[in-house]
Amino acid sequence: DTEVTQTPKHLVMGMTNKKSLKCEQHMGHRAMYWYKQKAKKPPELMFVYSYEKLSINESVPSRFSPECPNSSLLNLHLHALQPEDSALYLCASSQEGQLLNQPQHFGDGTRLSIL
Amino acid sequence: QQPVQSPQAVILREGEDAVINCSSSKALYSVHWYRQKHGEAPVFLMILLKGGEQKGHDKISASFNEKKQQSSLYLTASQLSYSGTYFCGTEWSSGGGADGLTFGKGTHLIIQP
């Protein structure tokens, strides 16, 4: 079991659907991250939130829309996705939003399939 | 800029040692090491900071050679539980706060009884 909880664990959606991925942590961490991981590939950074503000957006298409309602929650809103967006989406958190060198704690991920 | 990991894959007998390398052409601020088992989340192992420090955790240790911009992960007397894919993640000082990690392609480690 991990301390970062992601829901749902699996999601199948059509290209016209709108869905959201959720991530929650109760470790008091102030930085939260979204990564995308394709099969047999490393995680790729998508977004970084520091103190609930978006600090890094790695040129992710607008069909992915992140949201950080509070310091414990991170959402990823999905709309009009493409089949190539099928992947494992990992959420992570780290302790201090203003410092580097903090270990990142990963959730188990949401496995997303686009039909 | 993605760090380069080597080797891509290693097969060991239980009790043997392994070394995994991670190098970068860009000046590093720190190197993170993670292990991911199939179908599971990446698990944090350790962070190495620039300055050439070495860290250890049980029979897993790592070093960071700032001059070479390279980190090495040492697995001593490997156990079956060490099997998985090892990723190094690098961060460069953004000067502004939390940074995401850029991961290498991973080293697939198989430990056989």
Interface touch A100/B99, C-beta < 8 Å = yes
Q: pLDDT at residue B54 above 90?
A: no
Interface touch A42/B105, C-beta < 8 Å = yes
Q: pLDDT at residue B94 above 70?
A: no
Interface touch B91/A100, C-beta < 8 Å = yes
pLDDT band (50, 70, 90) for residue A101: confident
pLDDT, tens digit, 9 for 90 and up, residues A14-60:
998 999 999 999 999 999 999 999 999 999 999 999 899 998 888 89
Residues B33-50 have a mean pLDDT of 90
Interface touch B103/A99, C-beta < 8 Å = no
CA B36 to chain centre: 11
pLDDT band (50, 70, 90) for residue B81: very high
Position A59 scores a pLDDT of 85
DSSP state of B87: E
- Cβ atoms within 10 Å of B74's Cβ, excluding its own: 15
Position B75 scores a pLDDT of 95
Mean pLDDT score of chain A, rounded to an integer? 92
Nearest CA in chain A to B90: A101
Chain A residues with CB under 8 Å of B94 CB are 100
Residues B33-39 have a mean pLDDT of 94
Q: What are phi and psi of B82, to 5 degrees?
A: -80, -10
How far CA B6 is from CA of A83, B88, B100, in Å, comes to 31, 10, 22
Residue B90 distance to chain A (closest CA, Å): 10
Instruction: Please choose, from the candidates A84, A68, A82, the residue with its C-alpha nearest in 3D space to the C-alpha of residue A34.
Output: A68
